[in-house]
Amino acid sequence: MLPSVLQVLLAAVVIASPPRPASQVHLALTNAVQNCENGVAVSFASETPHQYQINYKPIESAQTLNVTTRPSESYGLSRGRYSYKSPYLHSGFMCNLLPNTAYQYEIVGGGKSFQFLTPPATGSDAITVLSVVGDPGDTTDSSATLEMLATPYKGMHPHALIVAGDYSYANGEHEVWDRWFNLQEVVFGHVPTLGINGNHETVVANGHAAPRPKAWDMVGENYLGYLQRILTPISNENKAKRRTYYSFDIGLVHLVFLDDYVGSSGSTWNSVGSKPWLNERTKQLTWLVQDLEHVNRTATPWVVVIKHNPFYNTWRDHQCQCSKTRFHIDDSDRERCWEGRYVSGSSMYEPHCGLQAKLEPIYAEYGVDVVMTGHVHGYERTAPIYQNKINEERGTVYITTGAGGNYEGHAGPRIPGPIPEWSRAVNNKVYGASKVIATKDYLEILWFTNTNSKTPFDSIILPVRIPTSPFEQSSKKVKRGYYKFRLLGIQEY
């Protein structure tokens, strides 16, 4: 098809433009929701709103393709002594890319070029490699963690870098987002990302590094910086309603991103237990069931949930309790817990506690293999658990990987009293993060310190679950209650 006159004129304007430096370059995986299947979007900032041309091609190819960035956006806010206006934020979508292929790209006139690797096609048997980090922040430790995650392990490059919330710790100080994306460009410019918001993108205020009293006028972000800057496959309607949960297939893995703060309104306290808060949490729960019902376990044998807050966590930080026994939620307490009240009856400060009341049975029913979180600034890996007991048939492995290296320091100490037997590995001495290696037969989950990308500190291998019911033979015939698995045995190190 011949290009339209308008496209030709636009391309001429773009090419003829003087250099306009691009900053904060970062990549994200895209899908059909963004009209860009099997795609990677390059996002960046500049001082002018004009569109850019992105040149890209497989490294081995002689033919260069190009795309023009979508219209740029800028946002601002002002309250009391604090005001902010963002640079112009651009995104160019490179769509229908070849699977498992190394590409190079250039922001024409922006002075930036990088290479990246695309994920394997969903449905192929190719190994999928994911890097996962929570709570990275903006210190030299967090930079070391991200560089470790971008480094190949046994020759395997990561296909995506997943952030389990608390990205920059801007806390309403939006200049921190700008500094953070510049700091991380060295990694995010060449490893595509996905992620989900944490409390620092939603309810935490008063800035990260700004002097007082100006910082007192900075409000909780209420998703503003996250939605403007983090590119995820969420519809505009869902963005407007602050519904940030979604799922994404990467190679052999069906990833589900859940928002622990769904229904919040930028405050830690005022929404918990309210009808709008409960309504939004119920909508997320309904969406989750529908999403899991449609997973094709032949194409994506592994289901991994990414959310910010851990429930099975033996560090003292961010504990919550809904029944008299820690980590157990009695059936008689389930509704009260879901509605946002602790066993004490007081309103919930840590919202994941209430979510667990209804998420855990769903995880078991649909065979969620792993839940990976941040929030707690340490590492912890559990055995497969169902309702506070090791259960290899119905259980889910919980990984806390929030030791990205942010300025708040390490987690700890651990909870008083005996440590549950399901807690199998911990670290609060060294910063680090996780890698996930998925094959058709097993899922390996590793945790590395940020000073050693070659030898993992800890790892576990989960064999693929074997169906025990004839109803599982075709995913379309699966009925709730019949979808059970038997694990063949788990290797721990």
Residue ranges that bind Fe ion, judged by CB under 5 A: 166, 198-199, 375
* Shorter beta-carbon distance to Fe ion: residue 91 or 434: 434
Phi, psi of 415 (to 5 degrees): -65, 150
* Shorter beta-carbon distance to Fe ion: residue 110 or 134: 134
Q: How far is the CB of 376 from Fe ion (least distance, A)?
A: 8
* Shorter beta-carbon distance to Fe ion: residue 185 or 317: 317
How many other β-carbons are positioned within 10 Å of the β-carbon of residue 265? Answer: 17
34: which DSSP letter?
G
What pairs with residue 41 in β-bridges? 28, 93
* Shorter beta-carbon distance to Fe ion: residue 190 or 375: 375
The Cα–Cα gap between 58 and 41 comes to: 15
Q: And the tokens for 340?
A: 């946002």
* Shorter beta-carbon distance to Fe ion: residue 358 or 375: 375
Q: How many CA atoms lie within 13 A of 342 on its CB side?
A: 13
Rg, Å, the chain Cα set = 22
- Strands 160-163 and 193-195 come out as parallel
With a CB cutoff of 8 Å and minimum separation 6, the contacts of 5 are none
Q: How far is the CB of 199 from Fe ion (least distance, A)?
A: 4
* Shorter beta-carbon distance to Fe ion: residue 207 or 251: 207
Q: How far is the CB of 200 from Fe ion (least distance, A)?
A: 6
Q: How far is the CB of 196 from Fe ion (least distance, A)?
A: 11
Q: How far is the CB of 214 from Fe ion (least distance, A)?
A: 24
Token match 């008299």: residue? 324
Cβ–Cβ < 8 Å for 92, 54: yes
List strands edge to edge, sheet with 423-427. 246-250, 253-257, 302-306, 370-373, 397-401, 379-382, 423-427
* Shorter beta-carbon distance to Fe ion: residue 128 or 199: 199
181: which DSSP letter?
H
The Cα–Cα gap between 208 and 165 comes to: 16
The Cα–Cα gap between 199 and 263 comes to: 12
* Shorter beta-carbon distance to Fe ion: residue 166 or 458: 166
| Peptide bond between residue 213 and the one before it cis (omega within 30 degrees of 0) | yes
Q: How far is the CB of 135 from Fe ion (least distance, A)?
A: 6
Q: How far is the CB of 25 from Fe ion (least distance, A)?
A: 26
Q: How many CA atoms lie within 13 A of 243 on its CB side?
A: 19
Burial (CB count within 10 angstroms: exposed 0-12, middle 13-18, buried 19+), residue 430? middle
341: which DSSP letter?
B
Q: How far is the CB of 198 from Fe ion (least distance, A)?
A: 4
* Shorter beta-carbon distance to Fe ion: residue 122 or 202: 202
**Nearest-CB residue for Fe ion:** 375
Q: How far is the CB of 374 from Fe ion (least distance, A)?
A: 6
* Shorter beta-carbon distance to Fe ion: residue 242 or 377: 377
Token match 């590094």: residue? 209
* Shorter beta-carbon distance to Fe ion: residue 195 or 251: 195
Q: How far is the CB of 261 from Fe ion (least distance, A)?
A: 10
Q: Is the dihedral of CA 316, 444, 303, 226 positive or negative?
A: positive
Q: How far is the CB of 407 from Fe ion (least distance, A)?
A: 13
Q: How many residues does the chain have?
A: 493
User: What's the CA angle centered on 474, arms 248 and 390, to 5 degrees?
Assistant: 70
